[in-house]
A and B are shown apart, each in its own frame.
Chain A
Amino acid sequence: MKVIETIDLNVHYKEVHALKNVTMSMNKLSITALMGPSGCGKSTYLRALNRMNDLIEGCKVSGQVLIEGDNAYARDIHVDDLRKKVGMVFQKPNPFPMSIFENVAYGLRVNGVRDKKFIHEQVEKAIHQAALWDEVKDFLKKSAMDLSGGQQQRLCIARALVIEPSVLLMDEPTSALDPISSAKIEELMFDLKKNYTIVIVTHNIQQAARISDNTAFFYIGELIELGTTKEIFTNPKNERTQNYITGRFG
């Protein structure tokens, strides 16, 4: 089943045509890696899915983004409802300067949940899902700023999971982390795949090969090739894809 589908998606930043007629889809409970050199449009594509591009001045989007069949850019869709469905984890860990507990509870609170018991259960569950529980269970009241970078990033994942989105967007989630923390997050993604459809932007070709089911290669705003990760890495159809994954440019 297709959870995400984009049809002729175009994004302009003022005069720059950042994304050109991208048509692709992601299946339920899969991991899709978006790769390509800097400025290829992969992050722009990711941000188009939860409309974070709306925050960028002079950004114009045309074409369709369908999330579980609903057009994300339709007039009767509220952007905050969309973002509840489509969670996001950023490149740099960005926990709020609050306690560990409050960081995760935030998503529930802003979405109108008041029931204390329910909040506690959900927060605990989300921190478990993010494989962070054992490390923080005794310090839930401590500031999230005291955690290490890798722990902060997993906290940000817990924060995104607590409102139970169907899609999780990850924008180079390990590029600011050390190799051990990165490995933990990659491991975590395999578990998350059981419940979430994941789209991950990565600069790291090996990472894309290790974790994803499908891989999309972007180049200067265009989707050059999309296929199963195995196909892309063993038998790419396009020459530019081949050059990129073999390290001839990028």
Chain B
Amino acid sequence: MIKQTKSGKRKRLNQSIMFWVFRVLSLSVVAVLFIILAFIFIKGFKVLSWDFITQSPTEGMTSGGIYPAIIGTLWLIAGSMVFAFPIGVLAGIYNHEYAAWKPLKVFIRIMTNNLAGVPSIVFGLFGMSLFVNKLGFGDSILAGSLTLGLLALPVVIRTTEESLAAVDNSFRRASLALGATKWQTTSRVVFPIAFPNILTGLILSIGRVSGETAPILFTVAAYFLPKLPSGIFDQVMALPYHLYVLATSGIDVEKSRPIAYGTALVLIMIVLIMNLLANVLRNYFGRKYKVK
């Protein structure tokens, strides 16, 4: 006969209590995201229209659209990608696959983590003094992209390292045992396997970068500039800064509030679309280089 015991009851009670704690906590994280999204959506979707995303702001930013800011943000995303991706991925590869001397490896890792911890306003200040003033790029897409690129760099490096670390060593050994060099092994076997994960990390880092305000404040963002940029030395408007302006220092803050929420909604949508794209690409490449 199988009997109920007192200690058995107790451990099952403990089990279900802990299970509910975990369940409630993780669901509350999801709830927070949904509340933010719902809030922004309810407040912002009224102003959302085709004109809103294809027209310039008018009447002191109290009506009209946010087209220049969308274009500006897309420029900055593309620009920062161009700088951060190759440098970050190559640095990550170096540090994980090549750096043989352990102290150097650890030093680079600590410095990368420190870089990730630098407040974004400090990046903005640094970008202003180096790119805008010292190198003379002025307030420009180039200066802003470089600054945002620096901000994204540690994330890209760490994602690359972590993705490479997830590649089973047996693949490296198999390749080396066939007379392949380290570079052949890295570029033909290890990198393709790690690529889907690296890509996801890259796109997620874009999500972060596209919402940053502080780094573009002194380096590129224009308060009001209905004209589209004609090159990388032009200033642009950008969504996060535009949102900041509309919410705090517009001509009529009360009147432009709905537009502010609309702007927030567009910004969030861009980030969500990026994340969606990351998943689609990861699944595509993940199938191509399926490990198991």
A binds B: yes
Main secondary structure of the interface of B (DSSP, over half): helix
> When each residue 10-46 of chain B gets 1 if its CB lies under 8 Å from chain A and 0 otherwise, what string results?
0000000000000000000000000000000000000
Residue in contact with A81 in the complex, picked from B177, B179, B289, B292, CB distance below 8 Å: B179
Q: Tell me if A143 counts as interface (CB < 8 A to partner B).
A: yes
Q: Tell me if A111 counts as interface (CB < 8 A to partner B).
A: yes
Given A110-B184, A110-B188, A145-B292, CB of A83 within 8 Å of CB of B174: no
User: A90 to B180, Cβ gap below 8 A?
Assistant: no
Residue in contact with B179 in the complex, picked from A55, A80, A96, A143, CB distance below 8 Å: A80
Q: Which residues of A contact B129 (CB under 8 A)?
A: none
**Contacts between chains A and B (CB distance < 8 A), count:** 70
CB distance from A177 to the nearest CB of B (A): 15
Q: Which residues of B contact A97 (CB under 8 A)?
A: 192-193, 289-291
Q: Which residues of B contact A50 (CB under 8 A)?
A: 177
B residues adjacent to A (C-beta < 8 A): 168, 170-181, 184, 188-189, 192-193, 289-292
Q: Which residues of A contact B175 (CB under 8 A)?
A: 96, 106, 110
CB distance from B188 to the nearest CB of A (A): 7
Residue in contact with B170 in the complex, picked from A83, A94, A109, CB distance below 8 Å: A94
CB distance from B176 to the nearest CB of A (A): 7
CB distance from B182 to the nearest CB of A (A): 9
22 cross-chain CB contacts under 8 A = A52-B176, A52-B177, A55-B172, A80-B179, A81-B179, A83-B178, A84-B178, A88-B177, A90-B170, A90-B173, A94-B168, A94-B173, A95-B174, A96-B171, A96-B189, A97-B193, A97-B290, A97-B291, A110-B175, A110-B180, A110-B181, A143-B290
Q: Which residues of B contact A80 (CB under 8 A)?
A: 179-181
User: B170 to A55, Cβ gap below 8 A?
Assistant: no
CA distance in complex: A107, B176 (Å): 10
Interface residues of A in 106-129 (CB under 8 A from B): 106-107, 109-111
Q: Tell me if A159 counts as interface (CB < 8 A to partner B).
A: yes
Q: Which residues of B contact A90 (CB under 8 A)?
A: 170, 173-174, 177
Sorting the interface of chain A by its residue count into under 10, 10 to 19, 20 to 34 or 35 or more gives 20 to 34
Q: Tell me if A163 counts as interface (CB < 8 A to partner B).
A: yes
CA distance in complex: A110, B174 (Å): 12
Q: Which residues of B contact A106 (CB under 8 A)?
A: 175, 178, 180, 188-189
Q: Tell me if A131 counts as interface (CB < 8 A to partner B).
A: no
CB distance from B177 to the nearest CB of A (A): 4
Q: Which residues of A contact B179 (CB under 8 A)?
A: 80-81, 83-84, 107, 110-111, 163
Q: Which residues of A contact B292 (CB under 8 A)?
A: 145
Q: Which residues of B contact A143 (CB under 8 A)?
A: 290
CA distance in complex: A21, B192 (Å): 42
> When each residue 72-111 of chain A gets 1 if its CB lies under 8 Å from chain B and 0 otherwise, what string results?
0000000011011001101010111110000000110111
Closest to B102 in A: A57
CB distance from B96 to the nearest CB of A (A): 15
CB distance from B186 to the nearest CB of A (A): 12
Q: Tell me if A19 counts as interface (CB < 8 A to partner B).
A: no
Q: Tell me if A160 counts as interface (CB < 8 A to partner B).
A: yes
CB distance from B167 to the nearest CB of A (A): 10
User: A160 to B171, Cβ gap below 8 A?
Assistant: no
Q: Which residues of A contact B291 (CB under 8 A)?
A: 97, 145
CB distance from A138 to the nearest CB of B (A): 20
Closest to A82 in B: B179
CB distance from B20 to the nearest CB of A (A): 39
CA distance in complex: A92, B168 (Å): 12
Q: Tell me if A156 counts as interface (CB < 8 A to partner B).
A: yes
User: A96 to B174, Cβ gap below 8 A?
Assistant: yes
CA distance in complex: A159, B189 (Å): 14
CA distance in complex: A195, B180 (Å): 23
CB distance from A113 to the nearest CB of B (A): 12
Q: Which residues of B contact A160 (CB under 8 A)?
A: 177-178
> Which of A50, A87, A98: most chain B CB closer than 10 A?
A98
CA distance in complex: A52, B174 (Å): 10
7 further interface pairs, Cβ-Cβ under 8 Å (given A83-B176, A143-B290): A52-B177, A90-B170, A90-B177, A97-B192, A110-B179, A110-B181, A111-B179
Closest to B180 in A: A110
Given A106-B188, A110-B188, A143-B290, CB of A94 within 8 Å of CB of B174: yes
CA distance in complex: A95, B189 (Å): 11
CB distance from A142 to the nearest CB of B (A): 11
User: Closest 4 A-B residue pairs measured CB to CB?
Assistant: A84-B179, A110-B180, A94-B170, A88-B177
> When each residue 43-58 of chain A gets 1 if its CB lies under 8 Å from chain B and 0 otherwise, what string results?
0000000101001000
User: B173 to A159, Cβ gap below 8 A?
Assistant: no
CA distance in complex: A84, B176 (Å): 10
User: B180 to A94, Cβ gap below 8 A?
Assistant: no
Closest to A81 in B: B179
CA distance in complex: A83, B171 (Å): 15
Q: Which residues of B contact A96 (CB under 8 A)?
A: 171, 174-175, 189
Q: Which residues of A contact B189 (CB under 8 A)?
A: 96, 106
Q: Which residues of A contact B171 (CB under 8 A)?
A: 94, 96
